[in-house]
Structure 1
């Protein structure tokens, strides 16, 4: 018996760029994972190649696998994960916001136009600027959710993926340093609402050659876990 595929066309607007001329890795991971993020389950998303902007792409779901491709080339693939993701410790919002002063990107930023962590205008980018939390191995930022990222009655998985993505990189990066996202596993427990304030927390969990490993989480102001992620970045040679 053959399982029928569900197909649609996806185009990534230029607004959601990370590095120039390609989609933000977390945004595209959240977009592709969205169909599988039911019942608070975790989803593992592998980025096989950069996703181009303003280009018609094919999004296809067969059973529990979702794939994004262009001209027959596989770009992104998502599969379910049958275990909960660990999260870094909660950091209160005021403390997370103070940590932004130590954001390495203030001094030199490899991708200043990045939708999630770039120095974009308020309301255009997400402006998540994680800095070190004193006395811990964490980085954190206070996220003030712009109304310009609303979809329906909440914030879509694509936006949450972007927030969870970049902070895991900044847990490793110094000024001007960069890498590209290779894999992002994410798990969304609760909705995020525009106008709300949330703590975003990240932690470096290891390095294996060119692979940089990290965890991240979004928390409500009372410490309730909203979403968690685990990331693998690939540093340049």
Structure 2
């Protein structure tokens, strides 16, 4: 990313794909939100169109908003919001890790190359496989943070956004089902550390036509809330 006065150039590496050929929605949400999260605790990101990979894109600050565009085509917009997000209940790491055995993506995955929840090699993808918990409406997975996602100042908002994104989809999806992220609101409370062990928890919060709603959270092993999100997905027609 190269900095100009109020404009930067952002290129999404192929590694951070979701569906084939486009950026993971949570990753790009974190990238656009990152410049606002220093001043604001909660940022709402709206995805207007899929973000292409390996393409120079214009990231521009317009007042309190940040926009990502490909030429004249608006892709993503982020704004600060005065909102404290609700988080799904804490799930201990051992219980979250056991839930991975019930990940419905193992029976059919619409986006098997996804950086977060896809079936890629360890160290390349994050391999976060949310599964259902017994006796409740939550899905959960364990997250052992690989050093391959760490930057000089730690684990960036792009990675945290990606983790918080996919699990809200799997709170809805059955085998082979899919949707595309339409909006992600992020709230970061604490840093994520390389090599750390975290619980990732999600839940479905409703459906309205093609729109699917969900909430997610990342917790430390002692139950301390690290980050939270709420998401809106758009299912295929």
Settle same-fold status: TM greater than 0.5.
Answer: yes
Structure 2 SS opposite 1:97:
helix
Give the 4+ runs in structure 1 shifted more than 6 A.
none
Does structure 2 retain, via aligned residues, the 8 Å contact 1:5–1:62?
A: no
Aligned to 1:130: 130
Aligned to 2:147: 147
Aligned to 2:9: 9
Aligned to 1:55: 55
Per the TM alignment, residue 39 of structure 1 is displaced from its structure 2 partner at its CA by 5.3
Q: Pairwise CA RMSD of aligned residues?
A: 1.1
The aligned length equals 234
Tell me, in whole angstroms, the C-alpha distance in 2 between the residues paired with 1:153 and 1:142: 23
Aligned to 2:98: 98
TM-score by length of 2: 0.97
Matches for 1:163-174 after TM superposition, within 5 Å: 163-174=163-174
- Correspondence 1:108 to 2:108: yes
TM-score by length of 1: 0.97
Tell me, in whole angstroms, the C-alpha distance in 1 between the residues paired with 2:40 and 2:10: 24
Structure 2: where are the runs of 5+ without partners? none
Aligned to 1:196: 196
Matches for 1:19-98 after TM superposition, within 5 Å: 19-38=19-38, 41-98=41-98
Per the TM alignment, residue 71 of structure 1 is displaced from its structure 2 partner at its CA by 1.2
Change (3 A) 1:224 1:146: same
Tell me, in whole angstroms, the C-alpha distance in 1 between the residues paired with 2:35 and 2:9: 14
Does structure 1 retain, via aligned residues, the 8 Å contact 2:88–2:217?
A: yes
